[in-house]
Structure 1
Amino acid sequence: MEVPPGSIHGIAGASGIGKSTLLRMIGGLERPSAGSIRVFEHDVTTFGRAALRRYLRHDVGFVFQDAGLVEAWTVRRNLAAAASAGPRTPTSVPLSVEGAADRLGLPRVLLDRGVMELSGGERQRVAIACVLVRMPRLVLLDEPTAALDAQRTGLVAQLARELADDGATVILATHDLELLDRADSQTLLTEPSTFHVI
């Protein structure tokens, strides 16, 4: 499977089939037991620690299912930390902390609250805002709308399209039919495969 830049690829499949694991392998956080994963002409499975750190810092934006935020920090500090790890060549102009919050409908008063004070849906939106302050070339979204209502789901789908239109490669794992319908291509994950992200 090849996913070209400027497109959205949706990954679907039964719970426990490995959608999240696949995203983590593409992101370099886990290694496959066999096969290869090529991203931007490099085999991610061969990266040493230094190369993996550069890849994660400069190329990848990951929205984890559990948001992946630093619980002890404020929303602003999480976003500022994400912004400071911006890619060398963003796909478009990264948003400011305030701009990303506004884009996702997060009241600015939340910026100075601790992550532990947020609802599940607010955490998910902050995690997506971490991508908007960086604008990386590869965006991995793991069930990004699981805790969101229909209106917010539509916003996330629109943002994914905007990121792709700006040149990012967007890969999302989801059970959400609206997100899958808006993807340019889809994979039903039923067994281990070789994935090639270009």
Structure 2
Amino acid sequence: MADELAQKLARRNMLNDGAEAPKMSQRFNPATEFPEFSFKEIREKEKMFRKFDADKSGAIDLMELKLMMEALGAPQTHVSLKNMISEIDEDNDGEISLREFFLIFRKAAAGELQAEGLTAIADSIDVGEAGVGGAKAFFEAHAQRSANANKFEDEIKAEQEQRRQEAEEARKRKEAFKAKMAHLS
């Protein structure tokens, strides 16, 4: 424990002396940052990202993007691939991270994508009911999810009401039985 405290004190002293603070890695959770996507959609997008992240670096680089576009049937020139990366690359590292990959789909739903290749990526995933091909589909899918949530809520309430009625009937049967027993005694 003394070692741990000494390390913390040394780190504080280092920071107080003006040393650069080490970068804290934030864990990316697509479900919280992109609530417009269902869990199924998130899993599909993560699966696609992992499929094309050949070197498992956690980012899709220029070569992996080239291979992805060829696999999707929309090959691109070197310049257009660089333009695609620069359009979506927020941290300017020249690669597409998982978060930036999700941004492709968000921007596609809002109709904000400039590069045709990014649109091809967004259109490549068949997301069924909750399509992200455009804003209309996004809002229709959102309304459908809300309706489904209400449907599940209604089912739960109906089940709870049924249990309450069954418990009430059981209580009445017990009271009737006790009354008969008292009458016989």
Structure with larger RCO (C-alpha < 8 A, sep 6+): 1
More helix by share: 2
Task: Give the TM-score taking structure 1 as reference length.
Answer: 0.30
Q: What's the TM-score, normalizing by structure 2?
A: 0.32
Higher strand share: 1
* Structure with greater Cα Rg: 2
